[in-house]
Structure 1
């Protein structure tokens, strides 16, 4: 995956984090937190895959 896509994913995560801090509804905050965790996990996985494929 190109570095540009990693940066776009990081920007998306940052936007969700900001929304999570600004929201006042507890359910919405919980859902946003879950979204952030999932996006971070996907980003870590994609980076690991990218690093392992570049080592070959």
Structure 2
């Protein structure tokens, strides 16, 4: 159970890092890629909560 908590925390940390990168990016392609990465990480986080 502790491993699940660590995995969720790591996913939350990754989401936060990518969201911070999204704020600094001006290239539309890079922004789209970062948005997709965040969406995938959020889906993984939600799946790990179920």
Residue 2 of structure 1, CA deviation? 2.3
Structure (1 or 2) with the larger CA radius of gyration:
1
Superposed counterparts of 1:1-56, under 5 Å: 1-48=3-50
Unaligned runs of 5+ in 1: 49-56
Which 4+ stretches in 1 moved above 3 angstroms? Answer: none
- TM-score (normalizing by structure 1): 0.78
Unaligned runs of 5+ in 2: none
Count residues with an aligned counterpart: 48
**CA RMSD, 1 decimal:** 1.0
Following the alignment from structure 1 to structure 2, what is the Cα–Cα distance between the partners of residues 2 and 33?
Answer: 25
